[in-house]
Amino acid sequence: MTDHTLPQRPSPEPGVITSAGFRLDGWGLFATLVAALVLVPVLVSFSSFAEINRDLLAHLTQFVLPELILNTVWLILGVALGVSVLGVSLAWLVAMCDFPGRRWLDWALLLPLALPAYVTAFVAIDLLDFSGPLQSWLRQGWGVTGLPDIRSRGGVIGVMSLALYPYVYLIAKNAFATQGAIALEAAQSLGLSRRQGFVRVALPMARPWIAAGVMLALMETLADFGTMAVFNYDTFTTAIYKAWYSLFSLPAAAQLASILILFVLLVVVFEQRSRAQMRYSTVGRSAASRRISLTPGLAWLAFAYAVTVLLLAFLIPVTQLVLWTREVILQDLDARYWAFAWHSVLLAGMGALMVVAVGLLLAYAGRHRPGSFMAWTQRLATLGYAFPGAVLAVGLFIPVATLDNWLIDTTRSWFGFQGTGILKGTLLVMLLAYLVRFLAVGFGPIDSGLHRITRNVDEAARSLGTSTSGLLTRVHLPMLRTSLRTAAVLVFVDIMKEMPITLMTRPFGWDTLAVRVFEMTSEGEWARAALPSLAIVLTGIIPVILLTWSPRPSRT
Amino acid sequence: MKLLSLICAVALATPALSALAEEVVVYSARNEQLIKPLFDTYTRDTGVQIKFITGGEGPLMERLKAEGQNTPADILLTVDAGNLWQAAHEGLLRPIQSKTLQENVPPHLRDPGNEWFGLSVRARTLVYNTTKVKPADLSTYEDLADPKWKGRLCLRTSKKVYNQSLVAMMITEHGEPKAQSIVKGWVSNLATAPFPDDTKAIEAVANGQCDVTLVNTYYFGRLMEKSPNLPVAIFWPNQNQANKDAGVHVNVSGAGVTHHAKNPAGAQKLLEWLSSDKAQNLFADNNLEYPVNPKVKPDQTVAAWGSFKQNLINVKEAGSLQAQAVKLMDRVGYK
C-alpha cells in the first residue's frame, strides 16, 4: 500500500523553477487577471463609499443592522452545524457502511442540489404553516394547536441545511471513500475501537474537505435572497436589497455589500487556515472491498435516516411541485418551454465548461507557482460566490456598459456604427458574470483533486520522458476526471438555478427556465412557478446522476 | 470555444437585422405573461415589432442608467408608482405631450410632469373572515391600529412596495407622527409574523389565524377562483363621505418613455394604445386589476366586488415618500 503525503505548499523544487522560467510569469499573470475580473464588482461596491448618506447610514445602524447581524450570525452557525451533521453522517454511511439501498442512495442523496433552496422553503411553509394541511388536520381532527412556527429561525436553518447539505456530502464522501478505510484500518491496528477510529482519525483527516464543503454552503447562505424573502428572515443580503429597492440607495446597498465581502473574506481566511493543514494521500485501495457491515437493526436505521433526509430535502418538495404543475400544465406549457429549457442547458453548459477551464488553470497556477501571493490571488478569485447575485450583476454591468458606451462612441465616429450595444447584447458578459459568481464552486473540487496528485507522479512521468503538456493530457487529466466532473456538475446545476445575473445580463430573447420562475414568483404565483421549477429539477437531475454514475462508482 | 464565438456573432448580428422593421423596445418589470398578449395584439394590429426584456425594477433602472444614451430601451414599464416616480426622479424618463393619454388616464394616476402614466389600477383593501367579523366592525385602515384588533390582524411584510406605498400615503394624509403611531398600532395588533405574500395572508384569515388583513384585490380574486368557498370577503375602507375619508388606497402599474429612447414617437403610440379601450381590457382583466381608463368597465369578477371611492391623492406621493415610509416601518419594528 502506497500512502504518499504532500503538504499544500511544498517548497519549490529546482526542476519546477528552471523548467518553468517564463511560464511562471504566465501563471502569475493569468491568476492575477482572473482575480482582477472578480475584483471588478467588489471595487464597484467599495467605490460606493465615495458617496455616504449619513442619515440613511445612521438609520440602518440604529434600526436595521443590530438585528440582521444577529440573524446572520445565527444563520451561519446553524447552517454550518446543520450541513456538517447531515453531510458528514450521510457521507460516512454511504462511503463506509453497508446498508439496504446504499447504492442508489449514493447518488439520490445529491438530488437536492438540483432544487433551488427557495422552492424547498416555499413548500415547507406551504405544508407546515398554520394554514397548511398538517396543522389544519391536527387542529380540526385532534384539536392540537400551538405547534412551533415554521416561519422562525429554526425553520430557516432547517430548510437551508436540507437544501445545502449535498455540498458537504459530496466532498466528504470522496474523502472518506479514498481515505476512510485506510485510516480506520490503521487506527484499529493501533488498538482503537471503530468509533474511536472514526472520531479520532478518519474525521480529523477529512476535516479540510468537510470545511471546504461547509464553506460553499455558507457562501451560498450569505448570498441567498429568495429563501430569506420567503421566510421574511432579515440577513445582510436582505438588507442590501432593501437599501437598494426600497430606500432607492444603490450606494448604501453597495456599502452593505462591501461589509459583507469583508466578513466573507474573514471566513475564507479561517477556512484556508484549516486547509493549510491538509494532508493529501493517494488512493491506496478503495473502501468498497471492506465496508463496515452493520447489524440488521443498524442497517435499517441507516436506511431510514438517509431516506428521511431525502424525503424532506427532495421527494416531498418535488411531489408538491408535481401537484402544482398538474393544475397549470395545460394552460402554461407551450412550445416556448423548449426554448427556455434549451437556453438554460446551453448557458449552464457553456458556463460550466468555462468555469472548469479557468478553475483548472487557476489550480495549476497554484501548483506551478506556490506561495502566499498565489494563495491570496486564489482566495480573491473565488470570492464572487458570496456576493448577492443582483449586486454582483450590477457591479459587472456598470463597467461593461461604460466600456460599451466608449466602444460605441468610438466606432460611431470612425465607422458610423448605429447600434446600441457591442458587448452588452452578447452572451459573453453573461458568461463572465457566471465565471465570477461560480468560480469558487468549480475551483474547490479541482484544486483538492490536483493536490492529491503527488509530485512523485510527476517525477515518475517525467523520468519516462513525458513533456509538460503530456503530463497534463496523459497523466493529470485522467487522474482529475472525477474532480473535473464534480466541478462541472456543481456549476451546471448552480447556473440552471441562477436568477439575478441571468435577468440582468441576458440578451433579448434569451429567457431561461429560471427567468420563468422569477416571472411567476415575483407575483406570488407559486403554482405556476412549479412548472419551470420542475423543469429545472428534471434537467438538473441528469448531470447529477452522471456525476455519480460510472461503472465502478467508488473508485476514483 | 468555436460554438461560443459563433453564438456571440449571432447575438451581435441580431440587433442589426431587426433594426430594419419599426420596433419598440420595452424594459418591463411587469410579468411576461401579463404583457406579452398585449404586445402580440399590438404587433398584429400595427405591424410594429415589440422587443422586451423583463426583470426586477431595481436592476432594470440600473441597466438604463449604465447604458445612458446608448440604451436600446424606448419604454420603461413597471409596477408601483414608487418605482415610476424614482425613474423620473433619476432622469430616466422624458415628458411626453399626449392628449390621448391625458384624456384616458385620470390626473391622480399619472405624473404631473407627464413623464409616466398609470396603465392599470391596483386597489389595496381589507379582507376579513366572514364567520368572525361583521362588516360593521370595519371602517378604515387607521382603525386597524385600535386595540380592539389585538391579536386579530395579519399583514404582509413591510418589504413589499405595496405596504410601503400605503404607509407613504398615510404620511401624506396625516403627517409622519400620526402615521407612525398608526403603523405601530398595527404591529402591536399582529396575530403572527408578517407573511411573504398577500395570498398567504388571506389564507391565514380564512383559516382563523387572524380576522382581517390588507391585500391587493387581484390576489383575493385569484385565490377565490381556486377555492371559492373560503369564508373571506372584501371590505372597502375609508368610504365615509361625512368624515371626508380619503378613499381606498390605489396604486398603478404604468410606464414612461425613456430619456434616451431611439423611437420616442413609436413608444408614445404604444403607450397611447395601452390606455385605449381595447388594450385596457386586456391589460387589467388578465390580472384582475382595475382599468385606469374610467370609460372602460372592469372584468366581471372584479366588478362583482362592488364599486368604491378611490383615494385621489396623486400616486406620485407614494414614490417621493417611500424611503421615509420604509424608515418609519423600521422604527416601529414592522418586519
Per-residue pLDDT at A128 exceeds 70: yes
Which phi and psi angles does B51 have, rounded to 5°? -105, 130
pLDDT digits 0-9 by tens, B20-70: 568 999 999 998 888 999 999 999 999 999 999 999 988 899 999 999 999
What DSSP string runs through B87-145? HHHTT-EE----HHHHHHS-GGGB-TTSS-EEEEEEEEEEEEETTT--GGG---TGGGG
Contact A246 B159 (CB under 8 A): yes
Interface predicted TM-score (ipTM): 0.87
Spatial CB neighbours of B101, under 8 Å, sequence gap ≥ 6:
B110, B114, B117, B271, B272, B275
**How many structural domains does chain A have?**
1
Per-residue pLDDT at A20 exceeds 80: no
pLDDT digits 0-9 by tens, A384-440: 888 888 888 888 888 888 888 888 888 877 877 777 777 777 888 899 999 999 999
Q: Considering CB atoms only, which of B55, B66, B207 is closest to A401?
A: B66
Spatial CB neighbours of B317, under 8 Å, sequence gap ≥ 6:
B168, B169, B172
Per-residue pLDDT at B216 exceeds 60: yes
pLDDT digits 0-9 by tens, A55-77: 888 999 999 999 989 999 999 99
**Which of A460-469, B52-61, B152-161 is predicted least confidently?**
A460-469
Q: Considering CB atoms only, which of A64, A231, A503 is closest to B55?
A: A503
pLDDT digits 0-9 by tens, A296-318: 889 999 999 999 999 999 999 99
Which phi and psi angles does A277 have, rounded to 5°? -90, 5
Among chain A residues, the shortest Cα distance to B58 is held by A245
All cell numbers assigned to A173: 464522501
Rounded to an integer, the average pLDDT of B85-94 is 95
- On whether residue A7 sits in a domain, the answer given is no
Identify which has the larger pLDDT, B237 or A53: B237
Rounded CA separation B67/A424 (Å): 9
Rounded to an integer, the average pLDDT of A348-361 is 95
pLDDT digits 0-9 by tens, A466-499: 887 788 788 888 888 878 888 898 899 999 999 8
Average pLDDT, chain A: 84
Quick one: pLDDT at residue A3? Answer: 38
All cell numbers assigned to B8: 456571440
Rounded CA separation A76/B146 (Å): 39
Average pLDDT, chain B: 91
What DSSP string runs through A390-417? HHHHHHHHHHHHHHHHHHHHHHHHHH--
A238 in B contact zone (CB under 8 Å): yes
What DSSP string runs through A93-122? HHHHEE-TTHHHHHHHTTGGGGS-HHHHHH
Distance (Å) from the alpha carbon of B240 to chain A's nearest alpha carbon = 32
Rounded to an integer, the average pLDDT of A360-373 is 86
Quick one: pLDDT at residue B134? Answer: 96
Per-residue pLDDT at A7 exceeds 50: no
Identify which has the larger pLDDT, A310 or B1: A310
Quick one: pLDDT at residue A436? Answer: 93
All cell numbers assigned to B88: 423620473
All cell numbers assigned to B140: 378604515
- On whether residue A8 sits in a domain, the answer given is no
Rounded CA separation A151/A132 (Å): 12
Identify which has the larger pLDDT, A293 or B96: B96
User: Cell 411584510 sits at which residue?
Assistant: B157
Quick one: pLDDT at residue B172? Answer: 93
Neighbours of A330 (CB within 10 A): 7
Quick one: pLDDT at residue A427? Answer: 87
A498 in B contact zone (CB under 8 Å): no
Residue type at position A547: L
Structure confidence at residue A548 as a pLDDT band (50, 70, 90): low
Nearest alpha carbon to residue B330 among A523, A243, A308: A243
Quick one: pLDDT at residue B217? Answer: 96
B327 in A contact zone (CB under 8 Å): yes
Quick one: pLDDT at residue A23? Answer: 43
All cell numbers assigned to B44: 398584429
Q: What is the DSSP letter of A507?
A: P
Structure confidence at residue A4 as a pLDDT band (50, 70, 90): very low
**DSSP strands (E only) in chain B:** 23-28, 49-54, 75-79, 93-94, 117-129, 153-154, 212-216, 232-235, 249-258, 290-291
State the CATH number of the domain containing residue A404.
Answer: 1.10.3720.10
Residue type at position A230: V
Contact B192 A394 (CB under 8 A): no
All cell numbers assigned to B22: 419599426
Rounded CA separation B56/B64 (Å): 12
Q: What is the DSSP letter of A53?
A: -
Mapped onto helix, strand or coil, the DSSP state of residue B83 is helix
Rounded CA separation B253/B119 (Å): 6
- On whether residue A314 sits in a domain, the answer given is yes
Rounded CA separation A179/A170 (Å): 14
Neighbours of A274 (CB within 10 A): 14
Rounded to an integer, the average pLDDT of B220-227 is 93
- On whether residue A317 sits in a domain, the answer given is yes
- Cα distances from A198 to residues A83, A110, A171, A183, B334, in angstroms, run 18, 23, 17, 8, 48
- Cα distances from B254 to residues B78, B122, B316, in angstroms, run 6, 11, 12
Quick one: pLDDT at residue A556? Answer: 38
Rounded to an integer, the average pLDDT of A324-349 is 88
Per-residue pLDDT at B333 exceeds 70: yes
All cell numbers assigned to A80: 454550518
User: Cell 423583463 sits at which residue?
Assistant: B54
Rounded to an integer, the average pLDDT of B128-147 is 96
Helix ranges (DSSP H) in A369-471: 372-381, 389-415, 427-452, 455-463, 468-470
Quick one: pLDDT at residue A8? Answer: 41
**Residues 40 to 79 of B: which have CB under 8 A from any A CB?**
51-59, 62-63, 66-72
CA atoms within 13 A on the CB side of B140: 17
- On whether residue A5 sits in a domain, the answer given is no
Nearest alpha carbon to residue A521 among A71, A116, A151, A249: A116
- On whether residue A345 sits in a domain, the answer given is yes
Contact B193 A401 (CB under 8 A): no
All cell numbers assigned to B19: 433594426
Identify which has the larger pLDDT, A464 or A109: A109
Quick one: pLDDT at residue A539? Answer: 85
pLDDT digits 0-9 by tens, A503-542: 888 888 889 999 999 888 877 788 888 999 999 998 888 7
**Which of A286-290, B9-13, B293-297 is predicted least confidently?**
B9-13
Quick one: pLDDT at residue B322? Answer: 92
Q: Which domain holds residue A525?
A: 28-546
Identify which has the larger pLDDT, B13 or A226: A226
List the beta bridge partners of residue B190. B153
Helix ranges (DSSP H) in B128-216: 161-174, 176-189, 198-206
Contact A250 B62 (CB under 8 A): yes
- Cα distances from A402 to residues A64, A365, A396, A431, B69, in angstroms, run 33, 31, 10, 18, 11
pLDDT digits 0-9 by tens, A132-165: 988 888 888 888 877 888 999 999 999 999 999 9
Per-residue pLDDT at B170 exceeds 90: yes
Contact A508 B51 (CB under 8 A): yes
Residues B71/B94, Cβ–Cβ less than 8 Å: no
Nearest alpha carbon to residue A528 among A390, A245, A311, A334: A334
Interface test with A, best of B65, B89, B200 (most A CBs within 10 A): B200
Rounded CA separation A343/A335 (Å): 13
User: Cell 369578477 sits at which residue?
Assistant: B301
Nearest alpha carbon to residue B2 among A425, A341, A350: A350
- Cα distances from A146 to residues A149, A159, B134, B152, in angstroms, run 8, 21, 27, 16
- On whether residue A467 sits in a domain, the answer given is yes
The pairing of strands B117-129 and B93-94 is: unpaired
Identify which has the larger pLDDT, B17 or B270: B270
Per-residue pLDDT at A22 exceeds 50: no
Per-residue pLDDT at B113 exceeds 70: yes
Quick one: pLDDT at residue A270? Answer: 74
Residues B281/B295, Cβ–Cβ less than 8 Å: no
Per-residue pLDDT at A14 exceeds 60: no
Which H helix or E strand runs over A293? Answer: strand A292-293
Quick one: pLDDT at residue B3? Answer: 55
Rounded CA separation B205/B17 (Å): 54
Mapped onto helix, strand or coil, the DSSP state of residue B128 is strand
All cell numbers assigned to B243: 368624515
- On whether residue A128 sits in a domain, the answer given is yes
Contact B323 A247 (CB under 8 A): yes
- Angle (CA) A280 A284 A287, round 5°: 100
Rounded to an integer, the average pLDDT of A177-186 is 74
List the beta bridge partners of residue B250. B123
Q: Considering CB atoms only, which of A246, A421, A516 is closest to B322?
A: A246
